[in-house]
Every structure is written in C-alpha cells, then in structure tokens.
Structure 1
Amino acid sequence: MIVPTVQNSPMPTLGYALFATRWLQAPLYFGLVAAQGVYVYKFFNELWALILRCVSGRATETYVMLAVLKLVDVVMIANLLIMVIVGGYETFVSRIGLQGHRDQPEWLSHVNSNVLKVKLATAIVGISSVHLLQMFVDVHHTSRHALLWGTVIHMAFIFSAAILAYMSGPMARRSEHPPAPRRAEPTTATPAPEPPPAPGPPPAPVPVSAPAPAALPTPFPLPAQRRAEDPEAREAAGAEERMRAAGFPVRKVLEEFDESHPRAFDRDTVARLGKLDFVTARHNAVFVGPPGTGKTHLAVGLGVRACQAGHRVLCATAAAWAARLAEAHAAGRLTEELTALDAYPLLIVDEVGYTPFDPAATALFFQFVAHRYERGSLIVTADRPPARWTEVFSGPSVPAMADRLVHHAEIVRLDADSYRTRHARAAWAD
C-alpha cells in the first residue's frame, strides 16, 4: 500500500514569538526561590530562639506552643512555594524533565493551572487556620476586634476555597470523560463473487466434532430481570464486552506474569502502572526488551485491567495501526479517525521495531502520537528504546514523536532470554 506523504503546516513566526514570551516568567520563579531561602532563614531563626528559651528555662507552655505554630506556619508556606515554583514552571514555562528520577514528586504529574489554583486555596486556608489558632492560644493578649476579624477573614478563605473547588470539579470531570465523538461511517467493500466450483470428485465429508460440554449451571441461577438489576453482574458483563471489543491477541493478566524470568525487571513501576493512575492522568507506558521477554503479556494485562475498571481499550500491532491510519488518510477522514479514538482512554501499540516504516507512514504515526499527547494514554511495546527508533521509522518527525511519547511515560526495560525459546530448548533437552 502506498501512503501519500503528509505535509505539516509550520507554525507562523508570530506564533513562535508569542510562545517564546513564556520565558519572561522564568525570573519570577527564581524570585520565588529566593523567597524560599528567606523562609528557611526565618525558620531556623525562630527555632534557635525557641531552643535558647527552653535551655534557659524562660519558655512557658504557651510560648512553646506559639513558637511551634510559627514553625508549622513557615513550613506550610514553604511547601506552597515549592509547589508553585516546580508545578508552575513545568506547566507554564518549560519541562523540567524529571521522568525516571527516583525523587520525582507524585503530585507533579497531576499539576495543571486548575489544580494549582485549588491547592493554593487549600494552602491559604491551612495557613489561615494556623494564624487563627495562634490567636486563640494567645487569647489573653489578642483584642476582641482582631479576633473577630481574624475569624471573619478565615471563614471568607474557607468559602472562597469551597467555591473554587466546586467550580473545578465539573471541569476536571469534563476533561476526564470527554463526550463520545460521532463515529465515522465505515466504508464497506462489495465482496467479490465466488468462483464456480471446479469439476472433479465431490469433496470428502468433513467430520463433525462432538459438541463441547455445556458449562455447569450455577446452583441458584438468577432470573433475567434480577441479573439485569444486579450491579455486579452488569459490571462483569460490561467488562467482558469491553475486553472482546479491545482486540487483544490473547487474554493475559498481570498476576500470571513470571517475574522470575527477566534478569532486569522493575516490579515497583509495573505495580504502580497496575493501579491505572497513568490512564486517568493520560500518561503513557513503554515496555522495551528483546522478543519473548513478556512485553505483550504486560501490555495486555494492563489493558485487561483497564477494561475491568471501566475504560475502553483498543489493541493492535504497529503494522495494523499504520494500515488503519493509511486507510483513513486515503479516504480523507484521518482527522475524524483520530477524533473517534479519543473515546478510548487507552490504546495499545504492540511490536514496534519488527516492521520498518517509510516517511509517509512515519508522518501518520507522528500525527497519531501528537494527537494522543495529553489527550489519552498509550502503551507501546518495542524491541529497542525510543532513542533508537530512527532505525525503524524514517523521516524528520521521529525525534518529535518519541519526545511526545516519553514526556509523560513510565519506561520499563525487560532484559532476558526469550521465554518461548527457553521452553523450546527445555523440551528438546527432554
């Protein structure tokens, strides 16, 4: 099949210039870093004063409580600062590139402008609570006017945070569950007429195998109406329907994976992927290793678990995805096809590296990955890391495609001999 080359329209120069103005915010975040240093100095200054008072015996219980509350207040403000510095810089200025770092914070992958506003409001309420508690602890030295206005301001902070959280809820749900797009009308081809049978002896009769034994009925079968009303049965039926529609080559589950086979295997990362947080966060997973190391098993196992959790999944090889994209492009409905795939939170691309792709197919794959970027999750299995995908894909868009794929991705490397070959050798030895 010949796939026409896809031309990508370049971003206008004015657009590049406007986008480059985001670097004007970089000095602001470094200014917040300096403010973080000021709070570190203030913390140790207060701590040193508390230690001196305690050692000299001049520290009352009220003073110790107030001093500790001040330290807690400083720490909470410093936590808010680091969240705004790291999350805001990552969201609005440039990527920091912490993927794979052992100290990467969990909240960083979920931070966006909406989340930052909610966390900021929550932190302000916490800081206001500490200040109000200080007033109540030192109530004998606090005027009634200050106590009254401190309570009113604190309630205003709580009310504002509640309103902001209420407004953010529908936005988050709308982004997590986009409306299902209208499905494109499938193009059906007219089947070719079957040739007449060639003259000759009649075909031999095909032996009919005995019917498989029927499954044993449950001891107490539920009536059809009751099964329809049973939420567990309805959920199991929905999961089974999603697994049938996913197109898995075989049914695999994560619990059946032989963890003792690979020489190098990141069990913690696979366990974290098994919680499916990466699907709701629209992140990716990439399994890299030689043939027969269990990459497809892990990908299908995650896909099956996603179907059981209520997500729609599609699974196919890289060659099958390329043919699907090429057919949609040839029919002039590539955009509609990519939009229709948004209804699937998880797509699995298996066996990257076994079939080379020409520049036209690579351009289609780039559009596929770029469209899924931060819209939905991808699981990719490959026999080589993305840095070597220039050996499989051809064209100038390969680095950009790999960059978008691994930006929000967990990369799991499996190092082992082929599981199938090992068992074949064992059988031959026997």
Structure 2
Amino acid sequence: MSCSAVASEEWRIVTTTTIGFALFATRWLQAPLYFGLVAAQGVYVYKFFYELWTLLVRCVSGQATETYVMLAVLKLVDVVMIANLLIMVIVGGYETFVSRIGLQGHRDQPEWLSHVNSNVLKVKLATAIVGISSVHLLQMFVDVHHTSHHSLLWGTVIHMAFIASAAILAYMSGPMAAHRAADHAPHKGDRGQGTGTDAAPTAAVTAAVCSVPIPAQASAPHPAIDANANVHANADAGTEARVRAAGFPARKLLEDFDEEYPRAFDRETVARLGKLDFVAARRNVVFVGPPGTGKTHLAVGLGVRACQAGHSVRFATAAEWAARLAGAQDAGRLAEELAVLDDHALLIVDEVGYTPFQAETAALFFQLVAHRYERASLIVTSDRPLGRWDEIFGGPSALAMVDRLAHHVELVRIDGDSYRMRRATSAWAE
C-alpha cells in the first residue's frame, strides 16, 4: 500500500473517531431535560401537601365523608407514585443516556441502578405506569356513583393495555439480554476449568464480565492500524505480567464461578463489584461464608479483573501476610513495607479466621488495615462475620480493625455446603 493510501486511511480513522465523539457528546443536551423533571417533581411535592392540608381541614371540620377520605388518600398515593416514576426517569435515564452517576459506596444506592440499561428502565417505567393506572382505576370504582359507565369501560380497557404492554416489554427484555450475553460471552473452548461450569452466565454476572473487557488478541496486521495491534499486544503482555506478579494460587475468572451452587449468593453485588468501581473508590470487599463455598474463587476473579483493568494486585493468605509483616517488623522496616504495598491498588487477604493470631500478629494486621484505610482497597475472605473477628484477633485491635474495614465495605455473604466435598462425595459414589 502506498504512503498516500496509508495517510488517507489514517485520516479516515481520525475523522470517523472525531465525528463519533462529537455525536456522543450531544447526549449532554439531555441534561437540562432532567433538571426540568426535577422542577416537575417539586410541583408534585407542592400538590401532595396541598391535597393533604385540604384533607386534614375537611376532616377536622367534619365535612369529610368516608368516600371522600378514601378518594383523597388514593389521590395522595397517586401523587407519590408519579413522583416515584419521576425519580426513576431522572436517575435511571440520566445514568443510562447521559452520564454515570457516582454513587458507588453510597448506602442508599438502589440495587437496580448498578445494572440499569434501556431495557431495565423501560420495564420499570412500564410497571410503574401500571401501578399508577391501577390507582386511577380504583378511584373510579370507589366513586362509581359519580363515574359514567363509558369512563369505567375505557378506564378498564386502557389499564389492561398498560398491563399487556408491560408484559410484552418484560418478555422482550429477557431474550434481548440473553442475545447481548451470547454476543459478549466467551466461547466454551476459551473458558478455564474453574469450577467446571460451561453454561452461559446469568445476565447479572455477564454484565459484570463485560464491564471490563479482556484485551483483544491482535489479528493480522494492517499497515494503517499496525500501531493499534502493537498496543493490544502490549496490553495482553502487561495483563499477563500483572496476573503472574499478583501471586494467585490459580487463575480463576468470575464467569467460571458456579453461581447455581450456593444456597444464598448476592449475584447483583458481585456483578456490581465486577465493574471495579470499588477499586477506584478505595473501598473494601469482604466475602463471608463456610469453607468451600467459592470465596477465594470470587476474590481471585475480582483480582484478575483488576489486573486486566491495569491495576496492580497482590494475593496472599492471612498466614502469609502475617509472616510478611512480621518479617518486616523484625527487620525494622514495617513502615517501608506498608509504603511499598501502597503501590498496589488491591490487596487480597484470604482465609482470615482459619487459624487464630497472637496479639502481636493482630496488631500487625491492624496496622495494615489502618494504613490502607481510605487509601487503597482490600478484599478479605473469612469463614466468620466481622462481628466475630474478636475470636480471631482478640484484644482491642480487633474492634478497631473491623471499624476501619467495615466503614467502606461491600459485604457478600455466601451460604452453602462445600463445593469440594460435593465433588469428592460424587466421586466416591461413582
């Protein structure tokens, strides 16, 4: 290919990218619309308290009949439901179509916001409209003596149309989500053995898997995009180097986790964690559950995902971290060791609670947690909830450690029997 052809191709790529970014930036034109909806919500707040005041005045003056009170309360409920619908549109729509809202770690963050998309938003809006329509229809039936048969008939027909449309949207959202999952999910031949699960992951875990894609393998080189191929190759090499340096006991991926096995398992939280927002927010993650329920698998899966995203990660068991910190203290360089660990965005402490620690070791763990508090992230796996960590560490350091660890934490509880014992029992039975 001639130099002019290469230059022309490069110019085409730059132009296309620039136009794409410019078009994507137009999404900010929608931002004022959401502020307008906020103003509309203020109008509904005023209407709610006006109706409430009117109801109270008529009740006190004895002018309120039972039918009037029921209709007035239904009207208040109607106002609240419409206000809820506005919140859903404002928050969910802004998050989906304009820009991500930085609520990671906020205790009031709605669960649905972590995996919101256009389909989820449409289904939630449809169900909210059905609820509002139900209240309107109930108002008609309560005041049936003052409602014409024509209004009742068309009110019922419209309500059934809303129900049918919501059911159709809900039905269509399932196949569409599965289609996207099939497009993004890895082929079976590319999957690690992990827990031996070859079935396609559910939508929640798939959303987490796709949030930080694995760098693509470089394909056949093209003169105009050779540099991009080199970038991808370097990214692959960097990811592999970070994974090897992390010290994982085995390479586990989130998509290989047998999520159908545990009796209780918070899939939505793990899906949200898979987006790695907790690393950027310097929050902690604690997996709690009996042995063999997949805590280490999930911790390593998040660690591998962090390596793929460019973060430096270090993995070790609690006993190994204790030995490392004790060695640094004996050498008189504990402060330097803690400073070195600051270079890693994520530390994973596995198997906390399997063996009790002496008071000196507990003090070292406290220094590790306190040093990384609001500075960098920790993932901890344990067989005991945080409230029982005094059984592991003892002394006042346990309470202080839990206080700092739990201040910014995502707690994932897993309940079930040991996966390893199940495999062993199956082997014995055969």
TM-score scaled by length of structure 2:
0.50
SS state of the match for residue 396, structure 2? Answer: coil
Question: Match for residue 5 of structure 1?
Answer: none
Structure with the largest fraction of helix:
2
Task: Give the corresponding residue for 1:357.
Answer: 357
Looking at structure 2, the residues matched to 235 and 260 of structure 1 have their Cα atoms a distance apart, in angstroms, of 33
| Structure-2 change in CA distance of 1:41 and 1:386 (3 Å) | same
**Equivalent in the alignment of 2:387:** 387
- 1: CA distance, partners of 2:386 / 2:360: 19
Equivalent residue number for residue 287 of structure 2: 287
Number of the residue aligned with 2:410: 410
Residues 111 and 268 of structure 2 are in contact (CA less than 8 Å); yes or no, is this contact kept in structure 1? no
- Distance, in Å, in 1 between the alignment partners of 2:263 and 2:239 is 34
- Alpha-carbon distance in 1 for matches of 2:229, 2:399: 51
1:44 partnered with 2:46: yes
Deviation at 1:230, TM superposition (A): 1.1
Q: 1:41 to 1:419 in 2, by over 3 A?
A: same
Q: CA deviation at 1:419?
A: 0.3
CA distance in 1: counterparts of 2:110 and 2:222, whole angstroms: 52
1:275 aligns with 2:275: yes
**Closer, same or farther in 2 for the Cα pair 1:243/1:42, shift >3 Å?**
closer
* Residue 339 (structure 1) aligns with: 339
- Say if 1:43 and 1:293 are closer, same or farther in 2 by CA, change over 3 A: closer
Structural RMSD (CA): 3.6
SS at match of 2:293: coil
Instruction: Tell me the CA shift for residue 227 of structure 1.
Output: 8.0
Task: Kindly indicate whether residue 263 of structure 2 is the aligned counterpart of residue 263 of structure 1.
Answer: yes
Q: Is the 8 A contact 1:283 1:376 kept in 2?
A: yes
For 1:268 and 1:425, locate their aligned partners in 2 and report how far apart those are by CA, in whole Å: 30
Give matches, 1:155-166, under 5 Å: none
Separation (CA, whole Å) in 1 of partners of 2:397 and 2:377: 20
Q: 1:346 and 1:331 mapped to 2: Cα distance?
A: 25
Q: What is the DSSP-based 3-state SS (H/G/I as helix, E as strand, rest coil) of the residue aligned with 2:395? A: coil
Structure 2 residue aligned with 1:315:
315
Q: Deviations over 1:311-368 (max 9, x none)?
A: 0000000000001110111111111111111110100000001111000000010000
SS of the residue 1:249 aligns to:
coil
* Equivalent residue pairs, number: 239
Whether the 8 Å CA contact 1:228–1:234 is kept in 2: the answer is no
Q: Bigger shift: 283-292 or 228-237?
A: 228-237
Give 3-state SS (helix, strand or coil) of 2:285's partner.
Answer: strand
Going from structure 1 to structure 2, the CA distance change for 1:273 and 1:40 (only over 3 Å counts) comes to same
Q: Within 1, Cα distance between the matches of 2:337 and 2:233? A: 33
Q: Which residues in structure 2 correspond to 1:69-218 (within 5 Å)?
A: 99=107, 103=110
Partner of 1:66: none
Residues 47 and 365 of structure 1: CA distance in aligned 2, closer, same or farther (over 3 Å): closer
- Runs of 4+ aligned structure 1 residues displaced above 4 Å come to 39-43, 45-49, 101-107, 218-223, 226-229
Aligned-partner Cα distance in 1 for 2:222–2:334:
46
Give the counterpart letter for 1:44 in structure 2: Y
Q: Does residue 376 of the first structure (1) align with residue 376 of the second (2)? A: yes
Shift of 1:389: 0.7
Structure 1: how far apart are the matches of 2:392 and 2:317? Answer: 14
Instruction: Give 1:382's aligned amino acid.
Output: S
Which one has more relative contact order, counting CA pairs under 8 Å at least 6 apart?
Answer: 1
Measure how far apart 1:257 and its partner are: 0.2
For 1:340, give the aligned amino acid. Answer: V
Residue type matched to 2:278 in 1? F
User: Which residue in 2 is equivalent to 1:239?
Assistant: 239
Counterpart Cα distance in 2 of 1:348 and 1:46: 50
CA contact 2:265–2:415 (8 Å) conserved in 1: yes
Q: Which has the larger radius of gyration?
A: 1
Distance in 2 of aligned mates of 1:219 and 1:309:
21
- For 1:353 and 1:368, locate their aligned partners in 2 and report how far apart those are by CA, in whole Å: 16
Change (3 A) 1:330 1:300: same
Amino acid at match of 2:46: F
Which digits, 9 at most, give the CA deviation of each residue in 1:167-217, with x for residues without a partner? xxxxxxxxxxxxxxxxxxxxxxxxxxxxxxxxxxxxxxxxxxxxxxxxxxx
Q: 1:393 to 1:243 in 2, by over 3 A?
A: same
Q: Secondary structure in 2 aligned to 1:242?
A: helix
Identity fraction in percent? 62
Work out whether residues 227 and 234 of structure 1, in 8 Å CA contact, stay in contact via their aligned partners in 2.
Answer: no
Distance 1:426 1:46 in 2: 62
**2:380 aligned counterpart, secondary structure:** strand
Shift of 1:394: 2.1
